[in-house]
Amino acid sequence: MKASQLILGTQRENPADAEITSHQLMIRAGLIRQVSSGIYNWLPIGKKVLHKVENIIRNGMDSSGAQEILMPMVQPASLWEKSGRIDQYGQELLIFFDRHENKFCLGPTHEEIITDLCKNLLTSYKQLPVTLYQIQTKFRDEIRPRFGVMRSREFIMKDAYSFDLNKTGLDESYSLMREAYIEIFKDLGLDYRIVKADSGAIGGSDSEEFHVLADSGEDLLAFSDKSDYAINAELLTELQEGQDPLSLEGKPSPDGKGVLKLKKGIEVGHIFKLGTKYSEVLNLRIQGEDQDIYPEMGCYGIGASRIVAAAIEQNHDEKGIVWPESLAPFKVALVEVNSKNNQKVKEKCEEIYALLRENNVDTLWDDRDKRPGVKFADMEVIGIPLTIIIGERTIESGHIEIKKRQDEKPELVSHQDLLSIILS
């Protein structure tokens, strides 16, 4: 992609109403623009990153054997009346009426829809176990949206739902999905932790959260320094009857091993065992070997759009975003410096750009007629992992300059070595 043709949307100054780093950088780097409180446009660079997140999730889900579907964002309110959650969810559920005065809501989650779908779809226990998932826009009319896409009203989420014959099966589906999540977070390249969690409004029994560690995180997590014990600090204080979560630091771990250490995290994934809660209230019965059963359900969410923000919270410096390679919108920025006075600069860039394209290296060629400083600053705020710099200097030296995003100075490499360095 040539930068001269890309709608970049980078901004030099922080927007006045963005408080946290990821929000500021997402706007300055041209990832998002706000439409309304908690509602955002995703610009080309942002959409590329979001797409990468989605695909990593998709690959992880597919290889676990889950099957992708797509459910509607608009849901009949009657299903929520049946499940009883229309009152429980309250004002977070955005309700409206169609031209026939039928009552609908925008889906904040899809337990009702998937359970209803499976009433027709699943007819025999032989179809179990099965896990279905989607990557889709959710809407929750948050009391107070904040921090850009970190806590927005409209957001992109992967939600998966498993159906099993019995509790043993649910345990297996749950741990299969847990493993898939571990694989996904490894692929995302983020520093994360799994903690015991409260199952909240979704309901059900066992539940764990996946948190991206970041000082700006809204959740406080407690870890034993001697064992694998890890829990959302808020849940632990509830269990221990209302202490201040911060007071947990240094206290003995509830599992008897070591003392508790606290870290802040951003919740980006949550897995639940639902049991038969929804299958019973929505009457999803499946023919078993000798009698009908209510399938044991699990549900598994990952906040795709939130991951983009969380990744930035964890990976940035004073110049801008420093993407992990897995999420970078481009792998390489090719910056031409002062090509006006030296036709060879342009020619060299064309040659390298063609080489990178042939080798499927996603490259942003900054061919704009701008001062070098402007180009460097843009490539840095966007956070592209590698920058190749071509100018008169490099033409004369017969070498190519290549700089890693986190490095201060570029290194000189030969044309022959360039590709292997980039592909390594």
Partner RNA sequence: CGGGGCGUGGCGCAGUCUGGUAGCGCACCACACUGGGGGUGUGGUGGUCGCUGGUUCAAAUCCAGCCGUCCCGACCA
Interface residues with RNA (CB under 7 A) are 10-17, 19, 34, 36-38, 92, 140, 142-147, 151-153, 155, 157, 200-202, 209, 218, 267, 270, 301, 303, 305-306, 319, 337-338, 340-341, 369-374, 376-378, 380-381, 389-394, 401, 403, 410
Phi first, then psi: give them for residue 288, nearest 5 degrees: -95, -170
- For the bound state, the minimum distance from the C-beta of residue 157 to RNA, rounded and expressed in Å, comes to 7
- For the bound state, the minimum distance from the C-beta of residue 26 to RNA, rounded and expressed in Å, comes to 13
Residues 321 and 312 sit within 8 Å (Cβ to Cβ): yes
- For the bound state, the minimum distance from the C-beta of residue 256 to RNA, rounded and expressed in Å, comes to 28
- For the bound state, the minimum distance from the C-beta of residue 145 to RNA, rounded and expressed in Å, comes to 6
Q: 10 or 253: whose CB is closer to RNA?
A: 10
Q: 140 or 331: whose CB is closer to RNA?
A: 140
Helix (H, G, I), strand (E, B) or coil at 61: helix
Q: 135 or 157: whose CB is closer to RNA?
A: 157
User: How many other C-beta atoms can be found within 10 angstroms of the C-beta atom of residue 392?
Assistant: 14
Tokens of 182: 């571990």
- For the bound state, the minimum distance from the C-beta of residue 113 to RNA, rounded and expressed in Å, comes to 17
Q: 121 or 413: whose CB is closer to RNA?
A: 413
Residues 305 and 147 sit within 8 Å (Cβ to Cβ): no
Q: 165 or 402: whose CB is closer to RNA?
A: 402
Helix (H, G, I), strand (E, B) or coil at 26: helix
Phi first, then psi: give them for residue 60, nearest 5 degrees: -65, -40
The two beta strands, 67-68 and 130-139, are parallel
Q: 232 or 253: whose CB is closer to RNA?
A: 232
Distance CA(27)–CA(18), nearest Å, equals 9
Whose tokens are 């900054």? That residue is 366
The two beta strands, 363-366 and 332-336, are parallel
- For the bound state, the minimum distance from the C-beta of residue 303 to RNA, rounded and expressed in Å, comes to 4
Q: 181 or 294: whose CB is closer to RNA?
A: 181
Whose tokens are 């999420």? That residue is 327
Between CA 403 and CA 268, with CA 213 as vertex, the angle to 5 degrees is 105
Tokens of 215: 């000082």
Tokens of 32: 């998002």
Helix (H, G, I), strand (E, B) or coil at 263: strand
Q: 285 or 319: whose CB is closer to RNA?
A: 319
Q: 100 or 340: whose CB is closer to RNA?
A: 340
Residues 26 and 14 sit within 8 Å (Cβ to Cβ): no
Expressed in angstroms, the distance from the first to the final Cα of the chain is 22
Q: 54 or 172: whose CB is closer to RNA?
A: 54
- For the bound state, the minimum distance from the C-beta of residue 93 to RNA, rounded and expressed in Å, comes to 12
**CA quadruple 120, 126, 128, 130: dihedral sign:** negative
CA proximity to 30, closest of 382, 366, 387 = 382
Between CA 332 and CA 342, with CA 338 as vertex, the angle to 5 degrees is 110
- Cite the DSSP H helix spans in 129-216: 167-188
- For the bound state, the minimum distance from the C-beta of residue 341 to RNA, rounded and expressed in Å, comes to 6
- For the bound state, the minimum distance from the C-beta of residue 413 to RNA, rounded and expressed in Å, comes to 13
- For the bound state, the minimum distance from the C-beta of residue 220 to RNA, rounded and expressed in Å, comes to 10
